[in-house]
C-alpha cells in the first residue's frame, strides 16, 4: 500500500479539479479522509482476517463499489451542513475519485496481492502494469523506520510531486478560463 499520508496528498491534488473560490474546508478534509479510509481493513489482522481474504487488506474496502457507497454517504452528510461552495454532484464526484484513487495507488505498488477493484462481483486482485511505488510497511512502528522513510521518499517522487503538478496545472487552466473584464 501507499502510506496514508500520500493517499491524502493525492486526494488534495485531485481536489484542485473541483476547487471553487468559496469551497469549504470540510470538503478538503472529507476528500483526504475518504482517500485514507480503505485501509480500515488492516484492523482485521488482529482478529484473524488474513491479507487475501474478502475482508483482508486491499479486498472489499478497496473496491469501486465501496468508493461509490462511501462517497454517497459522506456527500449526503456534508450536504446537510452549511454552504460547502460546491454542488452535490461535483462533491460526490470528488469524494468518489478521492476514495477510488486509494486502490489505484495501491495497484501501482511493488508488493502485496493486488487490489479487488470489482469486489464483491469479482474478488480477483489486480495490479496496474506500471508499479513504481514502493509498498509501505503496515503498522505505525514499522512505518517510522528507515524503510518507512525510504517509502516516503519514493512516494514524494511518484505521488506528491505529480499531485502538486496536477493541482498547479488545473488551477492555472481554471485561471486562464476566467472571463477577462472589458
Which among 166, 171, 179, 180 has a CA at the least distance from the CA of 11?
A: 166
For residue 164, give every residue at least 6 positions away whose Cβ sits within 8 Å of its Cβ, in sequence order, or none.
Answer: 13
Cis before 82 (ω within 30): no
115-118 contact pairs (CB < 8 A, 24+): 115/58, 115/62, 116/54, 116/58, 116/59, 116/60, 116/62, 116/63, 117/62, 117/63, 117/64, 118/63, 118/64, 118/65
pLDDT tens per residue across all 182 residues of the chain: 668 999 999 999 999 999 988 899 999 999 999 999 999 999 999 999 999 999 999 999 999 999 999 999 999 999 887 689 999 999 999 999 999 999 999 999 999 999 999 999 999 999 999 999 999 877 666 666 777 889 999 999 999 999 999 999 999 999 887 766 65
Say what the pLDDT of residue 12 is.
97
All three cell numbers of 7? 493517499
Query: pTM score, two decimals?
Result: 0.91
d(CA 166, CA 28): 16
The pair phi, psi for residue 71, each rounded to 5°, is -60, -40
Contact 16, 22 (CB under 8 A): no
Q: What is the 3-state secondary structure (H, E, C) of 64-89?
A: HHHHHHHHHHHHHHHHCCCCCCCCHH
Helices (H), the chain: 4-15, 25-36, 64-79, 88-106, 140-143, 146-155, 161-177
Amino acid at each position: 500500500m501507499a502510506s496514508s499520508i500520500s493517499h491524502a496528498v493525492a486526494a488534495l491534488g485531485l481536489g484542485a479539479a473541483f476547487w471553487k473560490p468559496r469551497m469549504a474546508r470540510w470538503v478538503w478534509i472529507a476528500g483526504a479522509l475518504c482517500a485514507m479510509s480503505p485501509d480500515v481493513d488492516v484492523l482485521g489482522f488482529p482478529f484473524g482476517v488474513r491479507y487475501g481474504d474478502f475482508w483482508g487488506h486491499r479486498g472489499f474496502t478497496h473496491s469501486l463499489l465501496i468508493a461509490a457507497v462511501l462517497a454517497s454517504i459522506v456527500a449526503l452528510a456534508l450536504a446537510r451542513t452549511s454552504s460547502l461552495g460546491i454542488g452535490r454532484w461535483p462533491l460526490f464526484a470528488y469524494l468518489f475519485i478521492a476514495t477510488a484513487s486509494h486502490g489505484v495507488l495501491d495497484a501501482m505498488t511493488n508488493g502485496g496481492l493486488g487490489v479487488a477493484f470489482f469486489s464483491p462481483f469479482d474478488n480477483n486482485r489486480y495490479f496496474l502494469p506500471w508499479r513504481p511505488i514502493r509498498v509501505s510497511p503496515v503498522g505505525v512502528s514499522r512505518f517510522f523506520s528507515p524503510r518507512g522513510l525510504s517509502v516516503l521518499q519514493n512516494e514524494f517522487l511518484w505521488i506528491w510531486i505529480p499531485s502538486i503538478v496536477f493541482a498547479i496545472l488545473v488551477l492555472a487552466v481554471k485561471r486562464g478560463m476566467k472571463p477577462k473584464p472589458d
